[in-house]
Structure 1
């Protein structure tokens, strides 16, 4: 998960077009049912207030949906202004009807603050609204309204938690797609270079030898058959090299994985410390170690809440360490029970093992080694 998603970072908009916008606004639209139920109730109790209350509810609804759907296009000051406007509209209900418990309608402003502001700021706004509700009901009624206050507090925590999960999932999907794209691009470039190096030399030699054989045949000189035989050998060698290169292209590359996770962690706001070359790793171990790096980094992004990740390589070992907070016994068991269990089987096939667990100074480590 991106560290900023739980702290001071401003949320970004991931625009997926009109269909994505409609899908995003669906839950917010359903959430407005509470507002309109309360509006109808107040209009029924006070018929003289029907026009202002329905007008206020309509303005509040439109402002809320606009903030949820398009507010992230604004700069920080604009977002703050939108959230402030929603809070002012929400405060109008308890003032208009003289009912402090209607401060619960500030939930729409709190929801907008979660969408538009850093989550820490949204949390403070939510808890401030809960305290305001508690104090105002105590002043007006002589006793605090704990049920509505608890409702606002729980609502704030629920919205913040759901938003954290949604953002983390979006970041994970984007990171996976980025890793895939970079791995494919890197492999294509590597194969292009390999084919150029292999075929460039072989085809040049074949061209020279076939030209020499032709001239020998034209001049009636001996040795043309030997040159043709050498051309045949070179052609077979070149074909074998091409097949080996294509076969290797179909495998996971450790170098490509390092390039991919570097971009993925960067886009997730996690600092990466890792080597740029994999020459020290035994060739036979590079493919299984690539899977270790991929799975471990995926878990760093998904579970850890880390700000830093380090990848270390040796001839027969690889280690991925993060400084996250998911190193509890329960997290260790959960992670081991999922993707990393498959890595243990891969490493066992080459005589190795995978060890996972917490780091003494805090964090989590995945280490694969082959004896």
Structure 2
């Protein structure tokens, strides 16, 4: 997963935030190594130099802690500090370190350890390594011009160790931040998938149920005068269908909606008969795995809904085989709002949802006309032996 690098303001973490205090504590522990230059400054005979260097050392320590926390915050949020800001912070640390020299003398060389560590947190990898190498070399070359300072191999070694330690910390912070970002993305995708599932199920359930209710209501209206007894039966069916639709919605919201092929075939017979469409159903249903049984049930539901709603057909045949389900009619198929035939392969929310269900089982959805004079077929095929 790629991460967009932003150059923005620092992360908004107040000093009351526990993670900010943890960062301050971690950075502050290492300030103990500034005790040597502090002691040297305290022992300096001239008061003005002592005040200047001690003030600079305290400011250096405070700015280092600030730089450490700020750099850590950027990395935790997978962001990059503006180069100008990073170099300004590092340059300010260098200036304060130079102001420590008059009072601390050779002991001021300990500040280069902190400069290397700050560079690792503030700068990109290549310039950070360059600064680290320069800081490690400085204790070795300065005595060439200032013999009184003596070669400080220990300081140079400390610079290398500090740079490696901070490098490890930065990598750990980066990996943790990437892991948290990945978890956040997974949660977001899970929510989006659940919303899509709920929308798909509600469309499939209500689209079919309301279509059947509409057809039966129209039929009951036509039968009121010519066959009141049958009209009363259709009204009873309307009440039953409305209750079933409400129960289906509740089950869908509860995320345990199940569809059975046998139930959908029975419902198809009732819906097609009410619409005056002759129906041909399979005599037997093959023994199907549960996932395929549900998929085929959704296919029958969607296919019959479209036949009743759009086709204007007189006959509909449903075929079920172990790896295939097919709903075929002799109507005109889907039509566009202007009344013309819709191109084959075009579908609404229901067909898109059905295609998603088929894809999850490795199946394929096929829709299209059966001939130039009309007829439409919806077919789902699944791989042999797949559930």
The interval holding the TM-score normalised by the smaller chain is 0.5 to 0.7
CA contact (8 A) 1:64 1:112 kept: yes
- Contact (CA 8 Å) 1:110, 1:125: kept in 2 or not? yes
- 1:15 aligns to 2:21 (yes or no): no
User: What is residue 36 of structure 2 aligned with on the other side?
Assistant: 38
* Corresponding residue of 1:115: 121
Q: Which runs of 5+ in 1 are unaligned?
A: 250-276, 285-314, 317-350, 352-369
Which residue does the alignment assign to 2:296? none
Give runs of aligned pairs for residues 171-250 of structure 1, distance below 5 A.
Answer: 171-210=178-217, 212-213=219-220, 216=223, 221-228=228-235, 230-231=237-238, 232=240, 235-236=243-244, 239-240=247-248, 243=251, 246-247=254-255
2:26 is the alignment partner of 1:27: yes
- 1:147 is displaced (CA, Å) by 2.1
What is the distance in 2 between the residues matched to 1:229 and 1:183? 41
Q: Output one character per residue of 1:21-68: Cα deviation in whole Å (capped at 9) or x when no partner.
A: 444333223333332x22431134324343222211122123323434
Give the stretch that moved more between structures: 173-182 or 57-66.
Answer: 57-66
> 2-side partners of 1:111 and 1:12: how far apart?
22
CA distance 1:50–1:92, shift in 2 (3 Å): closer
CA contact (8 A) 1:119 1:160 kept: no
Q: Find the residue that maps to 1:179 and give its secondary structure.
A: helix
- Using the TM superposition, give the Cα deviation of residue 83 of structure 1 relative to its aligned residue in structure 2, in angstroms: 0.7
Q: Any idea what the Cα deviations from partners look like across 1:299-347, whole Å, max 9, x if unmatched?
A: xxxxxxxxxxxxxxxx99xxxxxxxxxxxxxxxxxxxxxxxxxxxxxxx
- Choose between structure 1 and 2 for higher RCO, CA contacts under 8 A separated by at least 6 residues: 1
Decide whether the 8 Å contact of 2:64 with 2:93 is kept in 1.
yes
Give the alignment's TM-score, normalised by structure 2: 0.54
TM-score when normalising by structure 1: 0.56
Other structure's SS at 2:192 match: helix
| TM-aligned CA distance change 1:52 to 1:233, over 3 Å | closer
Decide whether the 8 Å contact of 2:38 with 2:57 is kept in 1. no
- When the two chains are superposed, the root-mean-square deviation of aligned CA atoms in Å is 4.2
Residue of 108, 111, 114 corresponding to 1:105: 111
Larger radius of gyration: 2
Q: CA deviation at 1:216?
A: 4.7
Instruction: Please show how residues 68-217 of structure 1 align to structure 2 within 5 Å.
Output: 68-70=68-70, 75-94=82-101, 96-99=103-106, 102-137=108-143, 140=147, 144-210=151-217, 212-213=219-220, 216=223
Q: Which residue of 1 aligns with 2:52?
A: 52
Q: Distance in 1 between matches of 2:179 and 2:8?
A: 15
Structure 1 window deviating more from structure 2 (111-120 vs 226-235): it is 226-235
